[in-house]
Structure 1
Amino acid sequence: MSEDEKLSAVLGELYDAVLNPGLWGFALQRVAQFVGGRDDELQFDDLAQKFLLAGHDLGSQLQYMLMHSELYGDFDPFTDVSSLDVDEVLSLLELTPHRDQSAQRNYQERKRSGRGAAAGGGVDTPVAESRQLGTSASKSVIDGEMMHRMALVAPHIRRAILIGKVFGRKLSEAATFSSILEKLRAGLFLIDRDGRILHTNAIGRRILNADELLQIINGRLVACDAGVNRAINEAIARRGSLDFDKEGIVLPLTTENLERHVLHVLPQGPGGDIRIGTPGVVAAAVIVCDARLEGLIDEAVIRRAYRLTPAELRVLIALFDVGSISEVSAFLGISKSTVKTHVSRLFAKTSTTRQAELVKLVAGYRPMFST
């Protein structure tokens, strides 16, 4: 295999590792083999975050890594590589020459751990990284050929790492958003311009499984009510994009058991993706909410917000769940006059004047997320 073919194979392994982080160990091993160092040792330091990726440190002995960090961390010559040019390659001996007696102990400890010499580089702003390559005991000094090969690989290592970080951030963001959306008490569907479902949360999947309000047909979101389905399609398909009001549309949904729900169709926000009319790109969010007021109430939050006594809170929740003062009186087993006294105090504390306002206030404290 020619040198160009070897380099091409190494670079292929590097960029494969970007897409599959589990391959980083193998990719770094191939780099070490290509450069000419020990085929089981290559270290990656992130100087911006001040940590060493032990999972990508091949062949090192943990005791020496810990000892060096504790005893010589403040004197590590590689802490100064952030001042180098991007992709500049150097050896450890250029930072700690033999004649510098003050560096001898640091150098000897690195040599004992297998790092008698090293090649670093790949500095970028604001992110700085260095790669350190160990050599075998029989070849403790990096020669010109190793430096040349490291210079060929270093730019690609840096580029692969930066691309991997971008991918990592995007995957982390997607996982975070997905986790949050899964806990919403409303059904959520992200759809493209053709109505294809790109993502749905747990409540959304439950709605689809019930097959009473919405269905999935050929990958598309379809309302069981023909009129509602037509309104959704007209709103989304208009001129091939979402050009209706920024607030979207609101449609009523009712099951055969007369359970009422509200469906919201929300377009992608202003300044969104220019590819919004492209299949496979989110064009709208469809949200389905239960129109009933029944459900869990954050009683503790209401009590703290309005400084209610336990008795006042019980009356307030009973008004929400039961209804009139006489019904609350019978439900709680207290006199009507006592209920009226508590209600008057509730009006004063919540700045309301009608029972309907109290019910609306309580409804606003329904949890956003399911437990």
Structure 2
Amino acid sequence: MAEASSRHKLSKLIGSIYDCALDPGRWEYALTGIRDALDAQTAVLHLNDLSQDRLLMYRTVGIEPYWLEQQAKHIREIHARLIEDLLTWPSLEVPHVLSRNVSQTYLETSRYFQECLKPQGLVDVMSFFLMHTPTRLVGFAVARHERQGIITEREIALGKLLLPHVRRSLMISNMLDISTIERARMAEALDALTCAVVLANERGAILHANRSARHMLLSGGPIQDVHGILQAKIPSASKELHNAIILAAGDEGSIGNTGLAIRLTEPDLPPIFARVLPMVSGDLRASLEPAAVAAVFIGNAPDEHDAADMLATAFGLTLAETRVLASLLAGHTLAETAASLRIANATTKTHLDNIFEKTGVSRQAELMRLVMQIVPPAGQPVP
């Protein structure tokens, strides 16, 4: 019974996170759930301007206004530490835990820790990096009070489980014109969007396609209507899309990274990706179409140069590796990349191997998937 209750609470929490994709005003509610699930004192969702030492977005729960003012005074130290850590960070899937990744020597001399965290009784902070560019950082974090103790493996594991759901919600929200949704009635919201959106039931049957999606279906785009069932033209993409919809129809907590970035086009064509948003739980999403279990959002890949720069910053790529990556993201082969950069084929292969090692992938398809997981779509600003 306790296990079933725990699963129900987790499903409800993930549902609240996905509701934020369509209504960012719900983040405080979702953050409260994240904080409580991780047995923490505070939780924040932040967008940092690293170049100007500013906070562009800061949704918080559990922090008194006085301490928010004090924290703002230490933003330069916070950013300097974040930039230093990100240069050597192994993966954006790995959380940064104060008690594990920052030395006691640093904490003893840190004005931020000594003047802001310590007086509040906060002893540990766990941060997740959602998206990272040379000048922007989006993440969420929780802090624990001394009565709760330091972060344990339980919280790290649960945080990792929540990470792809928070990232998916933010990325889909980033594709939408939220002001349009706020102005329109929810029943009309999808048709007001410029990106293609398809609502599907557990079989993949098309329940609703907005104007952009209908145009894509009728014009021979990367998706198709096969006897009322949504399919991709590429069989492998159709299989992943089908699997993501099945997971969305069941326990959306298990969807993880499945359906987060499904490439719908062949390697020699400009990349177009689909992202699947579960629709089963959450009163806001269910109000769009009660029979829908998934909403499929379809958009272009990010600009290859912007994407390469973002990965370079996140994973510490060299300038040469970044140039190779940008060429590959543009759809060029290794040979074409070598020719355009006027370097030997073997040198290009060495750069690619180094990129694989630094990013933790082993194939170019996995590299593109990683890009789509952490980089916003082309033409869409970071939220």
The TM tier, using the shorter chain, reads 0.3 to 0.5
Task: Give the structure-1-normalised TM-score.
Answer: 0.42
TM-score calculated relative to the size of structure 2: 0.41
- Which structure has more strand as a fraction of its residues? 2
Q: Which protein has greater RCO, CA pairs closer than 8 Å, 6+ apart?
A: 2
